[in-house]
Structure 1
Amino acid sequence: MPRVRPRRLRQSSALRRAVRETRLHPADLTLPLFVREGVEEAMPIGSMPGVVQHSLDSVRRAVTEAAEAGVGGVMLFGVPAERDARGSGATDPRGILNLATQVVREEAGDAIVVQTDLCLDEFTDHGHCGILDSDGRVDNDATLERYQAMALEQARAGSQLLGLSGMMDGQVAAVREALDEAGLVDTAILAYSAKYASALYGPFRDAVESTLQGDRRAYQLDPGNGREGVREAVIDIEEGADIVMVKPASFYLDVLADVAATSDVPVWAYQVSGEYSMIEAAAMHGWIDRRRAVIESVTAITRAGADGVLTYWATELAGWLNDGIDA
């Protein structure tokens, strides 16, 4: 008969809860939100069941609901009505993202961390994350100048945490320099350090009505590279990032664990649109238990080392956790 019986600690929900190594908390969750210019009500996104493009009115309600559930933050993405090669709407104080930031900050105050996506892809007519040169390639250094201008507008609009998602070399240092020179020293930077050129972004591109021509493999990370993701995070920390992130989450848990073991700043992960939609689609077909799959997926990301998780289930998951449903 075995003397060592690990099963003893699995015999009841109370025992399992008492010895659980990884625990989820609403404050560790961030809810991504899409705000579309020129709409009067929320518009469903076909490839992301349950997620919408918000109007300025509906985003107020979504942020209030998230804050009341104890969600830690909201990440805002803008969907403009017009786009051009330079992404001019990104630096327009009345552009949809900057306007939404003002609205949300006025609504939420400091009850929730208001975060903004700092990237040009939603605002350019070619859909790339930067300025194109005469050969149609993304010009890294010209793009940094645009990011600096975006950072100032977003910070002045009320963003507390800028999500640098463009994967340009030197973007953290450039944005930190611009913020500090403008006296915006308290505006924090979330660096999308290990952002991979993934197939899992498809539904997101529906959500922002992406006009992407080609792909982003020349600046996002190759899925086969793990050490490179750690290297990018280390560089961003050296340049002044306050938080670093791995994106996507589920397919890159090894990278997430390695970054977490290396970083001396908080490490977050983004459970991206494809991860969300795969679970939603399987659940709609009755192939998996939706709630259990949602909780398990976010638990796995946290267990791998994430201090925070961006997830489209943030408010719903927070509600379950508040009700004591955590497994």
Structure 2
Amino acid sequence: MTSNVLHDTLRAAVPALRGRLVAGASLADLTWFRVGGPAEVLFTPADEEDLAVLLAALDPEVPVTVIGLGSNLIVRDGGIPGVTVRLGGKAFGSVEIDGTRLRAGTAVPDMRLAKAAAEASLDGLAFYRGIPGSVGGALRMNAGAHGGETTDVFVEAWGIDRRGNRRRFDHAEMGFSYRHCGAPDDVIFTSALFEGRPGGRQAIEAEMERVTAAREAAQPIRERTGGSTFANPEGGKAWQLIDAAGCRGLTRGGAQVSEMHCNFLINRGGATAADIEGLGEEVRRRVRETSGVELRWEIKRIGVPMPAAA
């Protein structure tokens, strides 16, 4: 299907959609790497019900992809076929506090979740200050930093499955492990409940400042990057293996292994998604040859390559 055909088909099949449906929408500006092709159709639902209506009506053969803040993401140069869903707005971007619990929409940035907890004098969520993604991504990846992980504060999550059903997941059903969630891939998370503990606001804010300072000192956060590229192997550090393999500063096209922190890839300007992903694969090859360790991508790579790159 071409973008216009799929878009027009959806509009005709689901005329009651209240969200924004755009054919051939550019995705490069929605990722921190600033690379990648277009979405065949980009859908920004008005609310949970709107999302459920579209998914229930969608042909099961049409692929559905979810993107968040684009901080831990490579969109390949050929773009994303099917429907790309991006949650946003008040329906998915609010935080509500009840006692020691925080309910957040999955479009809420992790940093904002940490700030809301601090303002309510709730401890235990300050580690989110060091994670540049959103709550949805944190659920999918069991995101963590500076000694904390999503699994430590998670209570429950709600989402919409591919058939348009609203589903609840408790802690056991999420199947959290290191940088992984075992919930079904077809579920689009819409909100989550977290549990903090009473603490002193000044101490919590001081911890957040410490997290911020540590991140700025060690990571190339001012660059066009996608965060940590590879998950740490058991008992080791990815950056040490990459450094030992001689990859610090390695380049491919407009992409480079950061000299500041070699588990970060950066777009020096003019890089393609193929440059960045290809550089990452070269790093994996060199690490495998020098250490025998198979690095696992932590950055999510979605979409299709350009025909020439394929």
TM-score by length of 2: 0.35
Structure with greater strand percent? 2
Select the structure that is richer in helix: 1
TM-score for the superposition, normalised by structure 1: 0.33
